[in-house]
């Protein structure tokens, strides 16, 4: 097979991989360079009272800045979570975040967390503000009063893929194992509550950047 034919074949495989189902893209995206709407890319980062810590970047490289501070004294009151009819557009993603976080804590042998639903409106606003500034809120204090915060965001995911995307990011964080910054925050035995906040980039409501914070209290 000629060199040009080989490159053509590889390009075809890559393009097919980038439009594959989410589970397949997770496996192959780092290998074929998927990005944007063709195949999701993602970033995970963490922060705690001890400092900003590191970041673990999925395909596409680091998206968020790790500069200190979220800025402002905003309290979340101006950022409602509902879609105008009283329903929560991210109810399924929130439940998945809560369930998976506790499944992993059980695996680590630490107590389950209470779902801090009263924090979610504030957290959605926090996520939106961070997303607008392309800056993770490396407190403390965080806008919504958390003691620990893990972050994930990704591009190229449809609404129907977001529940799986949330589970994927939490799995990546847990799989760091003891000593990993996200793992240690997720499994901190001193934490008693958890809440998750989400924001979709309004400039692309179909596959635009999806930003989420997991805050521990």
185-206 tens-digit pLDDT: 999 999 999 999 999 999 999 9
Whether residue 18 is predicted with pLDDT greater than 90 in this model: the reply is no
Contact 39, 29 (CB under 8 A): yes
Q: Helices then strands (H, E): number in the chain? A: 6, 6
Based on its alpha-carbon atoms, the radius of gyration of the chain, rounded to whole angstroms, reads 18
Mean pLDDT score of the chain, rounded to an integer? 71
Give the pLDDT of residue 134.
85
Mean pLDDT score, 107-111: 98
- In this prediction, residue 30 has a pLDDT band, given cuts at 50, 70 and 90, of very low
What's the start-to-end Cα distance of the chain, in Å?
59
| Nearest residue to 195 (alpha-carbon basis) of 135, 86, 121, 137 | 121
Cis, bond preceding 140 (omega within 30 deg of 0): yes
pLDDT exceeds 80 at position 13: no
pLDDT surpasses 70 at 6 = no
Quote the pLDDT of residue 137: 61
With H, G, I as helix, E, B as strand and everything else as coil, classify residue 48: strand
pLDDT score of 71: 30
pLDDT at 130 over 70: yes
The token pair that represents 5 in the structure block:
């034919």
CA 186 to chain centre: 13
pLDDT at 140: 58
> What's the mean pLDDT in 8-29?
36
CA distance readout (Å), 158 to 21, 41, 182, 206, 208: 11, 12, 25, 6, 8
pLDDT reported for residue 136: 73
């Amino acid at each position: 097979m000629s060199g040009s034919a080989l490159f053509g074949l590889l390009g075809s495989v890559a393009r097919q991989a980038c439009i594959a189902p989410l589970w397949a893209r997770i496996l192959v995206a780092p290998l074929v360079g998927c990005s944007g709407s063709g195949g999701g890319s993602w970033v995970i980062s963490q922060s705690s009272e001890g400092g900003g810590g590191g970041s673990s970047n999925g395909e596409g490289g680091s998206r968020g800045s790790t500069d200190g501070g979220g800025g402002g004294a905003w309290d979340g009151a101006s950022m409602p979570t509902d879609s105008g009819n009283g329903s929560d557009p991210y109810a399924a993603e929130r439940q998945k975040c809560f369930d998976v976080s506790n499944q992993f804590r059980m695996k680590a042998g630490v107590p389950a967390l209470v779902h801090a639903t009263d924090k979610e409106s504030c957290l959605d606003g926090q996520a939106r503000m961070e997303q607008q500034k392309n800056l993770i809120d490396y407190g403390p204090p965080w806008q919504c009063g958390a003691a620990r915060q893990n972050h994930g965001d990704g591009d190229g995911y449809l609404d129907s893929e977001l529940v799986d995307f949330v589970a994927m990011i939490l799995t990546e964080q847990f799989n760091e194992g003891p000593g990993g910054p996200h793992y240690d925050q997720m499994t901190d035995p001193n934490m008693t509550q958890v809440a998750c906040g989400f924001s979709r980039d309004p400039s692309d409501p179909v596959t635009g950047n999806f930003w989420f914070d997991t805050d521990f209290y």
